[in-house]
A = this chain, B = another copy of it.
Amino acid sequence: MGWLFLCFSVSNLILTLVASIITAFIAPAAAGSGIPEVKAYLNGVDAPGIFSFRTLFVKIIGSITAVSSSLLVGKAGPMVHTGACVAALLGQGGSKRFKLTWRWLRFFKNDRDRRDLVTCGSAAGIAAAFRAPVGGVLFALEEMASWWRSALLWRSFFTTAVVAIVLRALIDFCLSGKCGLFGKGGLIMFDVYSESVTYHLIDVLPVLTLGAIGGILGSLYNFLLDKVLRIYNRINEKGVVYKILLACAISIFTSCLLFGLPWLASCQPCPSDASEACPTMGQSGNFKKFQCPPGQYNDLASLIFNTNDESVTNLFSKNTNFEFQYSSILIFFVTCYFLSIISYGIVAPAGLFIPAIVTGASYGRFVGMLVGPHSNLDQGLYAVLGAASFLGGSMRMTVSLCVIILELTNNLLLLPLIMLVLLVSKTVADAFNSSIYDLIMNAKGFPYLETHTEPYMRQLTVGDVVRGPLQVFQGIEKVGNIVHVLSTTRHNGFPVIDEPPLSESPVLYGLILRAHVIELLKKKAFVPTPVPTGTDALKLFYAGDFLKRGSGNGDKIEDLHFTEEEMEMFLDLHPFTNASPYTVVETMSLAKALILFREVGLRHLMVTPKISGRSPVVGILTRHDFMPEHILDLHPMLARSRWKRLRIRAPRLFKLF
């Protein structure tokens, strides 16, 4: 037994090491689930490196090794990130560094098409992970996308249809078992179909309780995960070695725990009518022998030493009513709950979906065993409902989780109960904190733009938050000034103003982007005197010069060099300026400006003065100006105002973390 443990823990450790080393050294952006990063990207936040080719590579390899290393981490999140990554790489025309580019992809080189592609990619990820094509579309819609158009709906539907057909073909191909574990169970992963799901009004009460407790467990899970993540971040900041040591420590701890726990469970005699061999030999199977004498099995070991998919299938199954002991299920639930919390933050690709399903299923199964004979519902169905309630309490989705669970279990008759459980658990959990992905985004410091406006924003005007001093360009600007402004600020957009003699009075001409100005400087199409060049200047450029680059691939002002003479010349910005920028007046309510900013999907919003005569533009609002932290920083008395969100706070005790 000692040798076995050594074998088990060393192979786990090596796999974890591979995952964490490639993540830490090649692509740190590949760590974690990836769903928060993709969600933030779709909201307009470009986190560095999340869609590069090396991130894709590390995400795939790292996810495989991390899942194989017995860590309780999922594969769904990394698959969503992988799908989004492939989509984004297509959207930026391939990878220049790895010489994988296609010319026809240049049509997608703009913000909107790339965002659409990434949405479809994340839908494909969920569709592939759970073999749930409709669930994938709804996941992308409900959780990921910040802007939705009906064209996007059917594009993502098309994407997941292709995923479904490819999956179906591969399953057909692998039917005879030549692809290992893949393809077992067909298109439905956890088939619990039974003709005779009957339930009555009396069954609704335990189901509601299950949902409510699931919601509390889910929000507590979010709370703990958030705290653990912040502790891990402090460790990870110390250096790469600390990151890898942390991953190793978690791996060794997991190995010890998984190998040690089954000793707590007593051996059970094999059922005489078992459909499979008992005790089971080989990689899968429902009756693990572990330390038991022949003819007996260890039920906790059967849960632990199985793939996550197999465990869930066993928990959901309706033919396993007397297979598990109370204590084993409870130990398994507690183990999964805490192991998944401490496993997520390590420097390796790690999803949250599968751990949540396993945890929720064991919780539901336990409740089902307690309620047992007093209910018409099968214990397996309680496990399904438990998984739904825990997912709902942690991830706070409704329609998409409902459809994903339906597509996982193929039991439409359960639909009303699943809907009920999801609604109850989401409502309960929303009273305590926000969804797990929102908490992770918050911990990562992404300036995520919420749909709703905070109540105190109605008390403020745009003028109250906009900051100066503002850098503006003249319509025809001296090259030296442009270079100076670009080098000394990090703004990405600049107002262009026409002053006399170009116009009667100072007037706002439009908005020019930093990337476009740099492109103009690179071409050095300067004129010696400040006269308009007209649209002739456009002939020097191809449309392709102004395409949106992949994030981090843009040129920098520091790389450009100019002679003294060039610095004294002029550049006509008019033909290259966006002459129709969205504007608001400085007395505009901040809440309404946020609605405009968010619904139209802007990056820059120009603020114009109420009374003319001064400069025609007061400032530019960007995403950061709408962040509650920034506003409360400027107006601290608002934080104490009575317009707060209603939410039950964690008691003082938890502040120790």
Contacts and interface: CB of A to CB of B under 8 A. Distances in A.
Given A142-B153, A161-B423, A187-B412, 4 more contacts: A134-B403, A134-B406, A164-B415, A599-B599
A420 interface: yes
A506 to B, nearest CB: 10
Nearest to A588: B580
Contacts of A529: none
Contacts of A584: 582-583
A403 B402 contact: no
Contacts of A611: 503-505, 507
A240 interface: no
Given A134-B415, A154-B399, A172 B200 contact: yes
B416 A168 contact: yes
Nearest to A580: B589
13 contacts: A133-B415, A137-B399, A148-B148, A153-B399, A157-B402, A161-B416, A164-B419, A165-B416, A187-B412, A187-B413, A461-B580, A582-B592, A600-B600
A207 to B, nearest CB: 11
B157 A451 contact: no
Contacts of A133: 415-416, 419
Contact of A507 (B167, B186, B610): B610
Interface in A598-624: 599-601, 610-613
Nearest to A503: B611
Interface string A389-430: 000000000110011001100101101100110010010000
Interface in A372-393: none
A151 B452 CA distance: 10
The 7 closest A-B pairs by CB, nearest first: A612-B612, A161-B419, A164-B416, A580-B589, A599-B599, A154-B398, A157-B398
A587 interface: yes
The number of times this chain is found in the oligomer is 2
A44 to B, nearest CB: 15
B153 A612 contact: no
Interface in A244-295: none
Nearest to A157: B398
> Among A134, A599, A613, which residue has the most Cβ atoms of chain B within 10 A?
A134
Interface string A97-138: 000000000000000000000000000000000000110011
A14 interface: no
A509 to B, nearest CB: 9
Contacts of A601: 599
A342 interface: no
A331 interface: no
Interface in A162-210: 164-165, 167-169, 172, 186-188, 193, 200-201, 204
Contacts of A186: 413
Interface in A496-538: 503-505, 507-508
Contacts of A579: 587, 589
A426 B592 contact: no
Contacts of A420: 161, 165
Contacts of A403: 134, 403
A544 to B, nearest CB: 20
A582 B596 contact: yes
Given A164-B415, A187-B413, A423-B157, A600 B610 contact: no
A150 interface: yes
A598 to B, nearest CB: 9
A595 interface: yes
Contacts of A505: 611-612
> Among A188, A426, A580, which residue has the most Cβ atoms of chain B within 10 A?
A580
A160 B579 CA distance: 47
A158 interface: yes
Given A410-B412, A420-B165, A426 B612 contact: no
A149 interface: yes
A585 interface: yes
Nearest to A168: B416
A579 B587 CA distance: 8
A420 to B, nearest CB: 6
A592 B612 contact: no
B188 A412 contact: yes
A583 B157 CA distance: 37
A407 B611 CA distance: 60
A575 to B, nearest CB: 15
A168 B610 CA distance: 59
A587 B596 contact: no
A160 B407 contact: no
B187 A415 contact: yes
